[in-house]
A and B are shown apart, each in its own frame.
Chain A
Amino acid sequence: MIELKNASFSYGAGSTVRDLSFTIDAGEFVAILGANGAGKTTTVKLIDGLLKPTSGSVLINGKDTAVTRVSERARQVGFLFQNPDQQICRNTVREEIAFGLTAVRGDLGEDGIRARTDEMLREFGFTGEEEPFSLSRGQRQLVALASVLAVQPEVIILDEPTTGLDYLECAHIMDMISRMNREQQMTVIMVCHDMEVVLDYARRALIISGGQLIADGPVEQVFRDEALLARSSILPPQIIGLSLRLGAGFEQVTTAEEAAEAVLRLRTGKEAAE
């Protein structure tokens, strides 16, 4: 469980968040939304303890991040950065995955680490001999994700995981994460600009605007609050935007499928009335 209690962080004129208070339970899938520069990345770095709050506190499983070290927490909390190149530091994909494991999963032993590495390679479809820096950006993002997931963290934080990826790569990564969320109760906290991805995968949304938390609720409910979205410069996913415009008969519509069904339903209703 992650608890933020009035956590604030300020650094010069740059990244600032004020008075953040919220709780994220094990197994949740949370999206953090907001405009560029609203403080989303600062928020997730506070959660991981990469940044220490200048006031207030952040607790992971009851332990204050101000007193524990980030490297010790890596076993519990995995962090996928926006730029995979900052994460990758080995010459082959196999070494890269084993590197993270060796750092935090000494308990597995040499054989355990080898077995776990093989498992991840299979799962992600790598041979292990690829050189990370000759792969495409999307493939490198997958390598970085594989080495984070290999240690089986309780929580994973994703900072714009889909930036620079094409649709298939994006779906591949999100499906993988979504499965770990369902099957192993892994908590997912995701900063994301693609509202369609948020709608498809996340269950709860937090909106940060000007460094403050201005909304917290189920994804769909947040996307239907037009005044709120306008205030935080967020555009709703297309079909929700459409359903807001169409009004009566389309209130519950979130997907193209549902929209088409609503149209058919309303047409039959009209024919019956006539």
Chain B
Amino acid sequence: MFGRLVKFAWRSVWKNRRRTIITGLAVGLGLASMMFTEALMSGMSTHMISQTTMSWMGDGQIHREGFRETGRITLTVNRPDSILAMLEADTSVTAFTTRIISPASLQSTMEMKPVTMIGVDPATDPGLSMLEAAVDTGSYFSGDSTDLIIGWKLAQDLDATLGDVIIITAAEADSGLASSLFFVTGICRFGSDVQDRYSAFVDIGLAGSMLGLEGEFHEVALRLTDIEMGRDPALPIWSRYSVFGNSAEGWAELASQVGSMLNMVNMSMMITAIILFGLVVFGIVNSLFMSVYERMYEFGVMKAVGTRPSALATMVVLEAFWLGVVSILIGTVLGILIIWITSKTGLDFGMIEVSGVIFDSAIHPITDWSRLWIYPVATLLLTTLAGIYPGIHAGRLNAAAAMRKSL
């Protein structure tokens, strides 16, 4: 009997072809938009993480304990040679670079601005940051120790341009003040105020000698074999380098605002899912009730000839199941199509900055194919469950009342 009810329900679903297709499209569109939203959010998350780690931070960093909180220039990485030797030998570290970071003031002929002076290693930094790629006027470090790269906003603030002389003044490690003369050789455009307005990049060698920190550094940025390693602070790599009074952290801890953003993204995904699935349920319930009311007489006859209320309810639930099947077929095909097209073309939001992360290129939705089944299965489950209420209603119909037109 159940097999016949399944067949009966399938045919009943197609009795009103137009309504089935419209309902299938409505639910399918909801499903497709869920799949697309998740892919887009996944693409945005990946983009955020990638931007965070590729633009400057790396997949993780090593500092002297307390440096990140205080910024004191005396807090350089302890036992730097040992740390560098360990990094050289570590197969999970594909690249690393050292940096000196110090507050400083920049003085042009016109203006003076407070900035963070960052000493970078021109040989290794390109593997860890986008500084070289961000230089859009002038050139990257040429090997001359007086080279200075500043952001385009800082250049505007200082009224400085390529070739201009800039004097950098910073506190030495032994509490004195040191000043050096630099020439603007490159103007960069990161898209973030942190780099474009408040940072000045110089050769690490000169920064070290200027501050009395030769052979020392404040930060080591790491590139790892797997970016996801930066998400998990429990991995042994972080404890391995948290030695000698140093502290090693992955990007998730270093850029906690990114973690918060990702949590927010997940939360908004959940809210979107609840709203869309709610609409799906109401759509299905509405469609089934229309079908039940349209076929009142038919249900009356079914009851009259001996169909039990439970069998009638089962048939309506099965109709909901079939509506769900039609809907997920439409939705899955549509969803995959939309994701596939947008993953090829990307979605360009223009250059925007969110929580310090720059979206400077198109976002490409990313689908985790192993999760692709979740939304269609959830939709099918929900649509089937949505059939229970109209099913119970149909089961409880009074046969005589249902057929009143005839009997």
Q: Do A and B bind each other?
A: no
